[in-house]
Amino acid sequence: MSAEQKLKELGLMLPPPPTPVANYLTAVKTGNLLFISGHGPYDDGNTKISGKVGRELTMEEGYQAARNVTLNCLATVKAAVGDLDKVKRVVKLLGMVNCTEDFKDQPKV
């Protein structure tokens, strides 16, 4: 099963790849490596989700924001290489949760 078929089976669909919000590239390929820039939490590709989990955002809203960031990253990968199945390995993945100091459930986000 292809990566995109698996996403579809999960009820997920890749959005159009996001456009940079400043002067940078969202993906750079060098040799057989692809580097992806940081992606922000946009709910529909245009509206930024803002606030801290544990204050302005619930844990579920934080989860949805993280899900959207992940789908946007995958859309950027697909735009850069043409097919998600070309990805053989992820070398590094960094995710950050903007949350209050007392929020302790980052893995659930």
Q: What is the pTM of this model?
A: 0.91
Q: Nearest Cα to 3, choosing from 79, 87, 62?
A: 87
On whether the CB atoms of residues 28 and 35 are closer than 8 A, the answer is yes
Mean pLDDT of 25-47: 89
Total of domains in the chain: 1
The vertex-86 CA angle with 82 and 91, nearest 5°, equals 115
Mean pLDDT of 21-48: 89
pLDDT of residue 45: 60
| Domain hosting residue 88, numbered range | 15-108
In a domain, 32, yes or no: yes
In a domain, 2, yes or no: no
In a domain, 1, yes or no: no
Distance between CA atoms of 12 and 30, rounded to whole angstroms?
A: 29
In a domain, 49, yes or no: yes
How many CB atoms sit inside 10 A of residue 22's CB?
5
Domain at 69, CATH number:
3.30.1330.40
Decide which of 44 and 82 is more confident: 82
Which tokens belong to 100?
Answer: 């209050």
In a domain, 6, yes or no: no
pLDDT tens-digit readout, 45-95: 678 889 999 999 999 999 999 999 999 999 999 999 999 999 999 999 999
Mean pLDDT of 7-17: 95
On whether the CB atoms of residues 37 and 27 are closer than 8 A, the answer is yes
Q: What is the phi/psi pair of residue 77, to 5°?
A: -60, -45
Mean pLDDT of 15-36: 94
In a domain, 9, yes or no: no
At 21, is the pLDDT very low, low, confident or very high (cuts 50, 70, 90)? confident
At 19, is the pLDDT very low, low, confident or very high (cuts 50, 70, 90)? confident
In a domain, 3, yes or no: no
Distance between CA atoms of 107 and 88, rounded to whole angstroms?
A: 25
How many CB atoms sit inside 10 A of residue 28's CB?
12
In a domain, 4, yes or no: no
